[in-house]
């Protein structure tokens, strides 16, 4: 079975991340849990900065309902990394993000995964339609 390649040119947006010392595991590389955290950081930074999501007082909140990651190469502290971000599917209430971790300046990903987020109303926990400003920001990331 061949491993699909994930290249920098496959992604629409990048978020620089600086791994922390505590992200390392006993084997000397960034722990898989930290990789998932970097994905979450990139997604939420984009939603706040580009989509106008108000995580503190807004009516809309996003919950991760599914997440996965495949690993291809180790990342070690203090290597600089970038998270590539694109949208694979955009629904009425949810979005599937496709993400990849790249060492700074490298073309092939060290890890790639997906994160599915559903949006709900803060009051009542009912599914919420994605508002226009947020939908426009997500549409810019749609994979072509």
Length of the chain counted residue by residue: 144
Residues facing 62 on adjacent strands:
119
Question: Six-digit token pair at 86?
Answer: 């694109």
Note the pLDDT tens digit of each residue in 6-15.
999 999 999 9
Note the pLDDT tens digit of each residue in 54-78.
999 999 999 999 999 999 999 988 8
d(CA 2, CA 35): 23
* Dihedral (Cα; 30, 22, 37, 72), 10-degree rounding: 0
The residues near 22 (Cβ < 8 Å, ≥ 6 apart) are none
Task: Give the domain 8-139 fold.
Answer: Thiol Ester Dehydrase; Chain A (3.10.129)
**Residue 1: how many other CB atoms lie within 10 Å:** 3
Averaged pLDDT, 139-143: 94
Look at residue 144 in the predicted model and tell me its pLDDT.
Answer: 67
Hey, where are the domains in the chain? Answer: 8-139
């Amino acid at each position: 079975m061949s491993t699909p390649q994930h290249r920098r040119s496959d992604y629409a947006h990048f978020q620089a991340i600086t791994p922390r010392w505590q992200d390392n595991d006993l084997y000397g590389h960034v722990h898989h849990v930290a990789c998932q955290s970097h994905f979450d950081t990139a997604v939420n930074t984009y939603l706040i900065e580009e989509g106008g999501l108000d995580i503190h007082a807004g009516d809309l909140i996003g919950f991760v309902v599914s997440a996965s990651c495949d690993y291809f190469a180790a990342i070690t502290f203090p290597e600089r990394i970038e998270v590539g971000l694109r949208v694979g599917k955009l629904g009425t209430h949810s979005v599937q993000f496709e993400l990849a971790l790249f060492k700074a300046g490298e073309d092939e990903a060290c890890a790639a995964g997906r994160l599915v987020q559903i949006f709900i109303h803060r009051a009542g926990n009912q599914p919420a339609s994605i508002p226009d400003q947020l939908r426009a920001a997500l549409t810019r990331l749609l994979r072509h």
